[in-house]
Structure 1
Amino acid sequence: MDIQYKGYCFDQMDAAVDKCKDNVADSLDNVCYKHHILIDTIKDIDAEIWHEYARARGLFNHMKFDEAKESVNHLLSQMTDSSFQLEQAKLLELRGNICVVGGEEQPAAIDYYKSINIYLQLDLQRNAAKCYRGITNVQFRVGNHKLAIENGQRAIAIEIANRMHSRTDSVDLINIYNTIGLAYQQIHELDSAMKYFEYSQTMATDLKEEFWIGLVNGNTAKILFEKGDMEEAERRIRIDINTSRKFNEHASAAVSMLSMGDICASRNQKKEASLYYDSAYQLQKIIKDKAVLAMYYRTLAKFNRNKQNFREGDIYFRQYIALRDSLQGATIGNGIEQVQNKARLEKQLADINLLRMENTYKTKKVQLWQLCIGIIAGALLLLFILYRNNRKLNQQLTRLNVDLEEKIKDRTTELIKTNKELDTYLYRASHDVRRPILSIIGLAQIAEFATDIHEQSDIRKKIIATARDMDKMLHKLKMTYELRASVEKQTFDLYEYVSGLSQDLVKFYPSAKFQIAKSGDTVLTSDIRFINMIFLNIMENACVFRHVDSGINVNIEGDADYISVNIEDHGIGIQEEYLTSIFEAYTRFSERSIGSGIGLYIVSKALSKIGGSINVRSIVYEGSIVKVRMPRNIQVSDTSAMAMG
């Protein structure tokens, strides 16, 4: 079945089950949702699994969370076939929703990220956007505000790119814009917060969503209060209070009451402020929300201190600190778990076609080695039996067996190391390529809301700069692939090559000034591809890490057998303890680094291919000297065709 059509059928079933929310819980095993969709008529699915999923979703709708979770766990344990990928994603998403209701943020995040991974592989963008919205709310609840903003913007980018314009989708966008605004507000980026609140309010007004109009008014009022616009802040808070009361949103009403109290206190209307604070406290007693209670204690502490009631102010402040610390402890714990979870789950995003091909290749290679080992072991056993009566030949056979085992061990170790490097390479490559793509998508969708011509121009420049950085990254990834190639000889003048390369680099780094000198014969026979990898990365690093307007000196010296090149920059230098690690893959030791940390790794590997060497000397804040030594005429051997690693 076409995966898009299968996803459509699943959406229809979800809608059918949701229509049965008003039925009593005991009717879940009956035929309510079957009146809306005939699952048994859909081809190429496991109807039993779909029916059980529908039952689990129905249990969730009727707040039977433990039973729903047990049903989901049972279904997931039965799904090992790759043909059930969509079913797995839907079940993981449902279990994530169940965990959110139960306050289990870390398990919810794990399930959301896994389902996002599957949805993106299946090109079900809308489903992925829903899970990104769930992740955004989880991250905000546990205090990871920057991650909440990042995932919220991903959800918005996907939804806008897929032109989702149904009313439900629009309300979801209102929600996510509001959450991003709250996250920006928490990290004190008030202008960004106000911008997203305005997006949310504009959509809510267009859709006549009274609840969201009131809620967003309350959120923007806090920013207006901080900026000193008391009259507009009071007007918006009153809208939020009336709307919250109408929809029985006591927590929102209590927070708005505290804000009104603050406005009255700022006007020295102490009696009115006390009335609003007391009203907020009474609402908190109804909802028993610790976060609201903490806000109440903090507000009353400040209020009493301003009235010079220091004793009462200190009592409220101690109550606030005790409650805040208990809340922060849980938040920090959840934050740490979420970071660990994110690192673990992002690795799954590398499951693309290239990874599948590499995994197939590695599996076949391992199977071939296993076959070889089996054949060798069988041959050794046969030789041992045939020559068991001859002590001398038996000893020779024993030595041969030991030697072969050592060789097999060495080759197996080499294979494991190569596979590990391939895994790391694929994971980092997919992650590095996704980051600028997501940045471009995010900038493009933000550009739709930009009205000022200067702001639009700035966004276009950022998109072009991001695209150029991605091009450089892809070029370096291409270099890592070309490291596998066998060495090919070509004769050229290294001095002319380096001079031409410096002119190309100046186009990208206009303030860089190269001084290139030579002594002796600089003609060599080597592989121009690996020469380019070596000097492009070293000279580009010199441009990036030099001090502004300082020069870069390149000296090329040739003798009978070798050519040496010294590249010296006057820049930020490298700390001594890092000099032994700079040639490792994905290593970055400075905030100026613009790539993914594989430049010097490529240099080291390329020099190894042509029989060269490299030495780096550096003094922090003074600069670095890189010395490269290469044979004038490389010798091509079988080892030159070995794979990277």
Structure 2
Amino acid sequence: MKKLNLIIFFLSSNFLAITPSFAQNNYEQIEQIYHNYRSEIDNEYISEDLKVDEFLNGIPSDSEISEQEIKDVIRLLVYLENSDLNQKAINLLKTLIPKVKKSEIFQAFLFQTLGKIYHHQDELVSALENYLKASHRYESNNEFYPLVTIYRSISRINTEGQNYNQGLNYAELAHQIFQENPPRNRRDSILLRSIIDYKGLNNRRLSNHKKAIDNFNESIKMSRMLKDTVFVSIAKGNKAVSYFDLGMLDEALPLLIEDYTNSMKNEVYGSAFNAGIYLARVYQAQAKIEKMDSIFREIEQIHSEYNFSNPVAMTDYFLIAAALAENKGDYKKALDFYKEFEKVDLKRDSIAIQNDISGMQEKYLLDKEISKLELLQQTNELQASHLKLRTAFLIIIAIALLVVLWYVFRLRFKNRKIDRLNELLEAKVSERTARLLEINKELDTYLYRASHDIRRPIRTLLGLNNIAQLTEDNFQLKKLFHSVNVTAMGMDKMLFKLQMAYELNTTHDISKVDIEELIRECIDDMALEIKEHNSQISIDINPKANSVLANNSLLRIALDNIIENSMTYKNEGTNKIEISTDRGNHFFYIHVKDNGFGIDEKYFNDIFKAYFKISNKSPGSGLGLFLAHKAISFLEGEISVSSKVNEGSQFTIKIPLNPR
């Protein structure tokens, strides 16, 4: 409830500023207006029958909101404390923002408030979008102190999204504003300290350890001036992490102990947990296993009570736990911790949120440039009125020149036609030659990669054979034979793809292909893989799109590889794949939709390249989608992809109804 009241505070302070009579007030006046009205609004009776949708529907879409409606908004927000606050408050803000276009500062307040709500809900991209909109309006109105708060929030989002360069950039922008406009009070000083801390955190993550240590020293100095002993210890802990990264364990240890002790004493358990993690890592590096085990048991108790989720801290937590379990000989428990580490590490390494946050910032910068261009365009339009007569005169001259040129081109037309035919012939020869060179290059690449890819499973089989000769345990032998089977299946898949690559360069006859029969043949042949991946495949054949003129083998290659890709890159749980067909006036479509990992848009052009993988950790050979794309290109078709990360992908095969 305390958190909800805080959100209500920001919403209330912003909305009270919307009324037209307040239109000329600045940021500081808006805050004062809120304090003057708070007791009056809080003491009003709130009807339980007050509904959000009814209130919004009662506001005209083309008018500014009135002062009485402002009070109704505040009353409504108080009512929302005990209901679905976040989503209804978001809807309320989105409806009100377009109604305050006449005051950029008030509109900035609303965008800032909307950003804070999204930030509380960990919707970082939406929060960033609204913070950037608010910052643009504060910048244009020279409202520096709220702009500092916005820059600090943007820096925090980039830090959380692992965009450390952008996080450092916005922290430095905020720091620069404070250098030109010194803190006015204790609250400003605390905000400045927070900005310096974010500079230190981002410098440390970028391995700029000297700068990071200087930042944390400055934070320590400010915390002492503010007589804030807790943050003195926390800043020392941050400084100690830089020392640890530099291998200066003796310098890091006392600072971490101080941070951990004071954080526990003052019940700042998040800071205590992080300090404890690095204490354990120091003891591990010093081979003091008993101390490492002792401090880990303490932070394990903290984690059990507060369930921290910071991926950076949790990866270190699980690695320490695994090391301790392994030291005690509990290899099963160590393996469990390593698996948890891999889950968190995969989440931490996810590029999705980094790309989304970076994309949002690029979009914001683009919007700013577009605004400048629009202003320039308006200036050009004013100048254009003075150029109309000159333009008309130039058009007349241009028409006369075109008539003359037309006669000249008529005389040269026949010679050009002959030259064009010669050029087409030469282009055809060049195209054939280039094609042959491309095929030879692909064959060289296949042979080179195949030699390496075949040796890997062979070495694995030889290794498993050597292990099998050293054990007589039936259970272990059964596991070894299973590994042999998995390795052999992988080699078989790889060789089958090479066979597909060979078939692509043979003659491709065109005939009528029964699509449903072809799809079912693919599914029957992949029955073992479907069972292994817990996949459910549904087929929806449009009665008007059940057959097409094409090459059966090429379509089979494309479908095999796309379905295999959908099964390989699946999320946990049931892997659902939907295959459907459609028919247009000129093209035939086959859609393959899954609920797997999804693909970031920046890789759409790369996934069809030979041996391309998004990550070195990705399974598969990197040939599947390349072979599918190449097979469809022989049918004069194309494959397109639409995808959302963590929601799934849809591949669409498009081939002409009347191939040449």
Question: With structure 1 as the length reference, what TM-score do the two structures score?
Answer: 0.49
Question: With structure 2 as the length reference, what TM-score do the two structures score?
Answer: 0.48
